[in-house]
Structure 1
Amino acid sequence: MGRRSDHSRAELEALILAEGHRLMAEVGYARFSAREVAKRIGYSIGTIHNVFGSHNRLVMAINSHTFTLWAEAMRARLDAGPADRIAVLVESYFSFAAENPNLWMAIYDHRLPEGEQIPERDREQRAGLTGMVEAEIIRVLPPERAGRAAALARSLVATVHGHCAFALTGTFALLGEEDPMGAALARVRETLAAAGG
């Protein structure tokens, strides 16, 4: 029996999101179950659907929360005032993925149904991370090339992601690459240098 009157809607949303995030970290996207989240918090699956609208929206919210935590971890490292801020971006990407593999992979494993859009709130949460990358790229580019920062940020995140994914899955080991993070950083530096940074 659900505890339907125990929490307000906002409290329910926070409770479901926290437990959903814990479960995703434990089992990963392929084994994630909204029904298991409901069981863990003592509510019915209907409550989760009433609060989030669908399984997809719940996963989206969990992934957006992961983006927020990831951005906070990266911001903390940048706020320490490192001399090589670009290296911090790459290292932060690799370390977050290595420390939170299920949460990290869930971001890329989840696909929205055709025609469904990411809600604006989720889009804003996710933009925090790429916004930081873009800001750091602007810092190293000449002022007249700052307009290229957004496109460069997307490409460089994709480059680092590819290296990181190959590292975590063991593909780089099979290819004989002994320093995937160093290789990713080298590609980033080369791209920024070519862009005038």
Structure 2
Amino acid sequence: MTKALERRAKLRTDLIQAAERMIAERGLAGLKTRDLAREIGCANGAVYNLVADVDELVLRVGSRTLHRLDEALSAAERAGEPSPQETLVRIAIAYCDFAAENLELWRALFEHRMAADKILPDWSVDDQLQLFRHIYHPLALLLPKRSQEELGITARSLFSAVHGMVALGLEQKLVAVPLPALRKEIANLVRAMIDGLIARAE
């Protein structure tokens, strides 16, 4: 790699890391390319030599967030008894804890909107979809008669229920729920949903 390419690669890494810090501190709305350029020591226009546009920059930061979330969910899977139901409970609580500890970066995953005519890159889609394996595999053990398509829908539904509780529970408004109570209620919800799914399957 030439010196010029090495410098560009380092600047690109610096840019993504600076954007991550900025979103963590200010939220997605506080992401400003002019401030990023000043922080990494390049001209404002040079930012777009490092990434195609702000959408790519936000997606690259999101990719880093999703990889850390993946690590947190993997650790939760290994952390206790191998019961599929309790694995799903641990995963749900780990998701809640990750959101609470990385609030603005987690929010940015869902707040970011691309133009309707822009296609999400394959690498970004893969980053998102591969996380569902944490839910899919325990569900497959609990509901062996369901097809892959049915399990995929159930996995997304379970995620949506937990995500909704986390999103509302962590709001800094009247609907906010103290984190210990939120964790307990999420565990109750997951257990109730799984019990209901198993009962219906039988």
TM-score (norm 1): 0.85
Report how many aligned residue pairs link the two structures: 192
Q: CA shift at 1:156, angstroms? A: 1.2
28 and 173 in structure 1: CA distance in 2 versus 1, 3 angstrom threshold: closer
In the alignment, is the contact (CA less than 8 A) between 1:71 and 1:129 conserved in 2? yes
Taking the aligned partners of 1:74 and 1:115, their CA distance within structure 2 comes to 33
Q: 1:114 aligns with which of 100, 113, 116?
A: 116
1:40 matched residue in structure 2: 39
Taking the aligned partners of 2:135 and 2:35, their CA distance within structure 1 comes to 35
Taking the aligned partners of 1:102 and 1:179, their CA distance within structure 2 comes to 21
1:172 matched residue in structure 2: 175
Cα RMSD of the aligned pairs, angstroms, is 2.5
In the alignment, is the contact (CA less than 8 A) between 1:130 and 1:153 conserved in 2? yes
Q: CA shift at 1:194, angstroms? A: 2.9
Taking the aligned partners of 2:187 and 2:80, their CA distance within structure 1 comes to 19
1:49 matched residue in structure 2: 48
Taking the aligned partners of 1:146 and 1:89, their CA distance within structure 2 comes to 22
Matched letter for residue 144 of structure 1: K
In the alignment, is the contact (CA less than 8 A) between 2:89 and 2:190 conserved in 1? no
25 and 65 in structure 1: CA distance in 2 versus 1, 3 angstrom threshold: same
In the alignment, is the contact (CA less than 8 A) between 2:65 and 2:106 conserved in 1? yes
In the alignment, is the contact (CA less than 8 A) between 1:164 and 1:180 conserved in 2? yes
Q: 2:151 aligns with which of 130, 149, 152?
A: 149
Identify unmatched segments of 5+ residues in structure 1: none
In the alignment, is the contact (CA less than 8 A) between 1:63 and 1:106 conserved in 2? yes
Structure 1 runs (4+) deviating above 4 angstroms are: none
190 and 119 in structure 1: CA distance in 2 versus 1, 3 angstrom threshold: same
Give % identity: 27
In the alignment, is the contact (CA less than 8 A) between 2:89 and 2:191 conserved in 1? no
Matched letter for residue 58 of structure 1: L
2:99 matched residue in structure 1: 97
10 and 137 in structure 1: CA distance in 2 versus 1, 3 angstrom threshold: farther
Taking the aligned partners of 2:147 and 2:191, their CA distance within structure 1 comes to 16
45 and 134 in structure 1: CA distance in 2 versus 1, 3 angstrom threshold: farther
TM-score (norm 2): 0.83
Identify unmatched segments of 5+ residues in structure 2: none
Q: CA shift at 1:180, angstroms? A: 2.8
48 and 140 in structure 1: CA distance in 2 versus 1, 3 angstrom threshold: farther
Q: CA shift at 1:81, angstroms? A: 4.2
81 and 60 in structure 1: CA distance in 2 versus 1, 3 angstrom threshold: same
